[in-house]
């Protein structure tokens, strides 16, 4: 039983890295099996299908629990530190890369949208108290990450610096403070 769980975990780990860094449709089950060093038939055995394997990678995502954030300011504090302490280089596939690469995929896009809402958006709405401000908060977070990690915009400070923290804090608090449309 332990060996089976180890194999399942190994497949899930490599699938997460590949699906989240290359996109679901750009990765084959053979590629995942090869990366994990196991027979491709084990994907069907443990997950039923490629789609089942992708869905299993989403189980590792953390949910935003409104009980963990008594105020919107505490939410901003946590996200500023989370992003400031992220790996400098894209050494690990992130939830943001998973969204960017898979939200528009015809096979898994609706799953990604559902997960985004269930895991993050609904919690943000409860903490912030507004659908539109929660959406702006999430969009600001995504946009800031894209600007820094993907586009390498010159105007964004060095990751982890005090200036970076101040810039990100400004973006997130502005999103929360925006008028509710």
Q: Note the pLDDT of residue 73.
A: 94
Q: Note the pLDDT of residue 118.
A: 97
Residues of the chain falling short of pLDDT 50 = 1
Q: Note the pLDDT of residue 164.
A: 95
Q: Which run of H or E residues covers position 18?
A: helix 2-22
Provide the token pair at 87. 């790996």
pTM for the full model? 0.87
Nearest-angstrom CA–CA distance, 157 and 80: 13
Q: Note the pLDDT of residue 1.
A: 44
Unique residue bearing structure tokens 């973006």: 171
Q: Note the pLDDT of residue 88.
A: 62
Q: Note the pLDDT of residue 3.
A: 72
Q: Note the pLDDT of residue 91.
A: 55
Rounded to whole angstroms, what are the CA distances from 146 to 30, 102, 142, 151?
Answer: 30, 15, 6, 6
Q: Note the pLDDT of residue 89.
A: 59
Q: Is 46 within 8 Å of 122 (Cβ atoms)?
A: no
């Amino acid at each position: 039983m332990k060996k089976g769980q180890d194999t399942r975990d190994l497949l899930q780990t490599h699938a997460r890295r590949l699906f989240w860094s290359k996109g679901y449709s750009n990765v084959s089950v053979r590629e995942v099996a090869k990366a994990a060093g196991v027979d491709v038939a084990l994907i069907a055995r443990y997950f039923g299908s490629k789609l089942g394997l992708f869905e299993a990678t989403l189980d590792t995502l953390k949910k935003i629990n409104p009980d963990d954030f008594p105020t919107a300011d505490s939410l901003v504090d946590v996200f500023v530190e989370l992003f400031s302490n992220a790996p400098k280089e894209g050494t690990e596939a992130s939830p943001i890369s998973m969204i960017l690469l898979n939200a528009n995929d015809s096979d898994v896009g609706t799953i990604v949208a559902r997960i985004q809402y269930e895991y993050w958006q609904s919690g943000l709405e409860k903490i912030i108290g507004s659908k539109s401000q929660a959406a702006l908060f999430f969009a600001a977070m995504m946009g800031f990450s894209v600007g820094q990690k993907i586009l390498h915009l010159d105007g964004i400070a060095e990751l982890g610096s005090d200036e970076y923290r101040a810039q990100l804090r400004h973006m997130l608090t502005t999103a929360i403070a925006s008028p509710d449309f």
